[in-house]
Amino acid sequence: MNIRTLKLNLIISCVTLFLLNCGAQKQYLKRDVITEENDRESIPKPEPRRVSVFEDGIENIFGRELDEYGNLSWHSRKLFNNLKQAKNTNALDEVPNSTWFTNRHAEHPLTIAELRRGPNRGDGPDMSGTITITAAKAEGVSPGFRMKDSKGDAYFVKFDIKGFPQLNTAAEVITTKFVYASGYNTPENYLSVLDPEKIRIGEGVTIKDKWGKDVPMTMKFLNHILSRVNASPDGTYRIVASKLLAGKPLGPFLYTGRRKDDPNDRVSHVHRRELRGYKPITAWLNNFDTKANNTLDMYVTENGKSFVKHYIIDFATSLGSGGYGSASPSRGHFGTFDLGHIFKKLFTLGLYVEPWEKKPRLITPSVGYFDSDLFNPGNYAVIVPNPAFQRMTELDGFWGAKIVMSFTDEQIRAIVETGEFQNQEDVDYIVRTLAERRDKTGRYWYGKVNPLANFRFHQNDEGQTFMEFDDLSANAGFEDSALTTYRYKLQYRGKDLTDHFFSKSKARLDLNDGMGQTIEKNFTGLPGLSEDGRVLNFKIETQRKTGGSWGKDVKVFFYYPTDNFGLPQVVAIEREN
């Protein structure tokens, strides 16, 4: 295919996408908003699968990238900011509860006690008696083993790397609680103390030697593991005890495709908003290792039904922790194979110095490298390209940012304190940095859409009906509400029924008597219109300063009851992307 043909095909693709976007406006009926995804039907147990870290990395770094290089539709959609929207959102452009995600803190604020508890449902492992090792590994980023506590409960054990007290373990428990509060399924992760004098090795436990051969585990191997991790002055070890998940493990889920042997898995993972919109959350927490092997599918039985439940696991490479020790200052700025970064170094003969190369490399050994000054929420890079993240739209980013912004300074501190740092200065630094990164996240993504939310109708004592909403940017202090003006007009199926009305510096739109008459006149001229078809919309635009431009619109569709019997009811929301 020659260059001329490629250009012609690209133009045809772009024109086709433009024409598709100019189609008729979507029509809505009065329907209950879907809040639960029906993906908990009983299914036969799927086959467990293994995902090679190496093969998955090669596929995401090279294989899939090369496939998409020649995809003209993909390039034209990226060029015109017209990536396909997520396919599992409801009429309000939100994510229903499912085996992947549960609406928690952003929709139903958790108490301080609930935030501190996170996914934990017990008191953690009983370390008072004998601790039995049932499996172990000495290789990898973080050496550890599986144990049974004094009660016989099973846990995975993770340590701090030597010289970095509290770094890995605090990052693991803190990020777990933020991710859980955000709505994802996570393990129960407990901070605890391990006394090596109470350890015994279970029967038949093996470990790989330096040649990769399985050999019986001995105390020599245990001491080898302990020699690589951080010990307390009294000879004990601070650990994270991750409770074994309920059910049967099926291996990781992928951020693309579907699990074909799971009939409940009906939406391609690259088109699930909770996976796309996870990027602003993971960027905020500096959790750059989002590959498939940090996920886990479990075959569970709940309420008499057996199905697959999807977990995100392993958060030791978050905040300022890099797994082996402190995170690199380059964290989040480029991934494993970043051609832009490579070419920049080549063309400047290595003379160009990145801004992050000028920053100090370590805050403290317990905090690692973690900053907000250079944090760029719109250009955060994970270590291996994540196919769901690469398809994230502005609407997905806005959704994730709303979750990040739902955590107040007080709530952030409550969770960070559960990391049990020895120095209060470390706590204060992480809290301050997370709050600054949170605000950067909200400011960036709220600026990509019209950030109005939580639309609801009211009626005052004089019988006047109006719609209220939250201006998320103004509420967060990113914009001045006194300088903000909203203009809106009434529409029906894409047709303007009124001229613009204006609302100055208050998040309220009046549905006046003139509009009511216009609505009834419009509906009277539509014979055969069903009762549930009485759905109109406000098209709302926002101006942030006098004489400024009007930003992107948000359309709020609402059911208008017959003869003013009851209040209008919001049935759908569409945001300009």
Q: Could you report the per-residue pLDDT of 291-323, keeping only the tens digit for each?
A: 999 999 999 999 999 999 999 999 999 999 998
- The enclosing domain of 566 has a CATH number of 2.60.40.10
Same domain for 433 and 546? no
Amino acid identity of residue 264, one-letter, is N
201-250 pLDDT, tens digit each: 999 898 877 777 888 888 888 888 898 899 999 999 999 999 999 999 99
CB 85, CB 393: distance < 8 Å:
yes
124: left (phi over 0), alpha (psi -120 to 50) or beta: left
Mean pLDDT rounded to a whole number for the chain: 88
Considering the domain boundaries, does residue 81 fall inside one?
Answer: yes
On whether both 349 and 298 belong to a single domain, the answer is yes
Which tens digits make up the pLDDT trace of 257-294? 999 999 999 999 999 999 999 999 999 999 999 999 99
86, part of any domain: yes
Least confident of 140-149, 449-458, 517-526, 550-559: 140-149
Q: What is the reported pLDDT for 462? A: 85
- 24 is a domain residue: no
Q: Which amino acid is at 394?
A: E
**Does residue 468 sit in the same domain as residue 376?**
no
Q: How many domains does the chain have?
A: 2
Q: Are residues 369 and 505 in the same domain?
A: no
Residue 214 CA, distance from chain mean position: 38
The string of pLDDT tens digits covering residues 351-406 is 677 777 787 778 999 999 999 999 999 999 888 889 999 999 999 999 999 999 99
When pLDDT is cut at 50, 70 and 90, the band that residue 1 belongs to is very low
Q: Does 230 share its domain with 310?
A: yes
25 within some domain: no
> Which pLDDT value is given to residue 16?
40
- Secondary structure string (H, E, C) spanning 397-460: HHHHHHHHHCCCHHHHHHHHHHHCCCCHHHHHHHHHHHHHHHHHHHHHHHCCCCCEEEEEEEEC
Q: Which domain holds residue 197?
A: 34-448
235 and 170 in a single domain? The answer is yes
Strands across the sheet containing 305-312 = 248-251, 295-302, 305-312
Phi, psi at residue 295, to the nearest 5°?
A: -130, 165
153 and 288 part of one domain: yes
Q: Are residues 230 and 204 in the same domain?
A: yes
Identify the pLDDT of residue 6: 42
- Strand pairing class (485-492; 535-543): antiparallel
Which of the 8 DSSP states describes residue 212?
A: S
In a domain, 15, yes or no: no
Q: Are residues 420 and 467 in the same domain?
A: no
**Dist. CA 570–CA 164, nearest whole Å:** 52
Q: Binning pLDDT at 50, 70 and 90, where does residue 4 land?
A: very low
* pLDDT on residue 215: 87
24 vs 440, more confident: 440
Average pLDDT over residues 34-38: 95
Least confident of 8-12, 118-122, 124-128, 251-255: 8-12
Contacts of residue 152, defined as CB under 8 A and 6 or more positions apart, other chains included, come to: none
Which one of 448, 471, 493 terminates a domain? 448
Distance CA 140, CA 168 (A): 14
Residue 170 lies in a domain: yes
167-211 per-position pLDDT tens digit: 999 999 999 999 999 999 999 999 999 999 999 999 989 887 777
Q: Is residue 19 part of a domain?
A: no
| 223, 237 Cβ separation under 8 angstroms | no
Choose the final residue of a domain: 448, 470, 491.
Answer: 448
Are both 90 and 238 inside the same structural domain?
yes
Task: Tell me what pLDDT residue 10 has.
Answer: 42
3-class secondary structure, 434: helix
Tokens at residue 218, please?
């001995």
Is residue 548 in some structural domain? yes
Q: Are residues 216 and 295 in the same domain?
A: yes
Q: What is the pTM of this model?
A: 0.90
Q: Is the pLDDT of residue 67 over 90?
A: no
Residue 101 pLDDT > 70: yes
**CA end-to-end span of the chain, whole Å?**
33
Q: Which of 448, 472, 500 is the last residue of a domain?
A: 448
Query: In whole angstroms, what is the distance from residue 480 CA to residue 542 CA?
Result: 12
Give pLDDT, residue 80.
63
Looking at the fold, whether 216 and 292 belong to one and the same domain comes out as yes
Q: Which of 53-62, 249-258, 540-549 has the lowest mean pLDDT?
A: 53-62
- pLDDT for the residue 461: 86
Q: What is the mean pLDDT of residues 75-92?
A: 80
The answer to whether residue 11 scores a pLDDT higher than 70 is no
Residues composing the chain: 577
